[in-house]
Amino acid sequence: MRRRQIYDPTVGRTYERIDERLASFPATQALFFVATAPADVDAHVNLSPKGIAGTFAIIDSLTVAYLDLTGSGVETIAHVRENGRITFMFCAFDGPPRVLRLYGRGAVVLPSDAQFEGLKAHFPAVEGVRSVIVAHLDRIADSCGYGVPQMSVTGDRTQLWKSYAQKGGEAGLVAYRQEKNLVSIDGLEGLPSFPPT
């Protein structure tokens, strides 16, 4: 027997700001996606999945941020530094179907920047932080999410923390970022070299 979908008049709308009802949705999702693109139409669009509990925060009704952890790529940082465009997407994989997209202009806040410590206070203390990506929103929209499958989350993976330990802790991560995170796959500037030139 086919299950009847119930129409929800609160979904499929745009919003002027993130209110309490909207804010509760990202807070309960174990996964979100970040999309960015370089200005060059021949370069690569990037879409990154982000997890790790507590690494996304709503700063105020038009500002969000996430804790950017060390990884092998630097596409989001490079694209945001070049043109600022960024979109976040949250999908409900359990419970009522829903998709929330947050569009805006981003900035990369490095540990050497004055506002870094204030932003970092919104997140749990974790290893491997290379920046905070903060975005000022200019469009907030949700949609039905009927095409998103139902899935169960069993927990965060542990491999990221193990890989950090294998690299020798923070000193090793600094060296790794200098090897892997200076430029994007299209040659855009990623993280600054250390010491800065």
Taking only the tens of pLDDT, the chain with its 197 residues reads: 444 444 465 668 999 999 999 999 999 999 999 999 999 999 999 999 999 899 999 999 999 999 999 999 999 999 999 999 999 999 999 999 999 999 999 999 999 999 999 999 999 999 999 999 999 999 999 999 999 999 999 988 999 999 999 999 999 999 999 999 999 999 999 999 865 44
What pLDDT shows up at residue 194?
64
pLDDT at 1: 41
pLDDT at 12: 84
Evaluate whether the domain defined by 14-180 bears CATH number 2.30.110.10.
yes
Output the pLDDT for position 39: 97
Per-residue pLDDT, 10: 61
Return contacts of 186-189, CB within 8 angstroms, 24+ apart: 186/38, 186/40, 186/43, 186/44, 186/78, 188/38, 188/43, 188/78, 188/79, 188/81, 188/82, 189/78, 189/81, 189/82
CA–CA distance, 128 with 165 (Å, rounded to integer): 10
Q: What is the pTM of this model?
A: 0.91
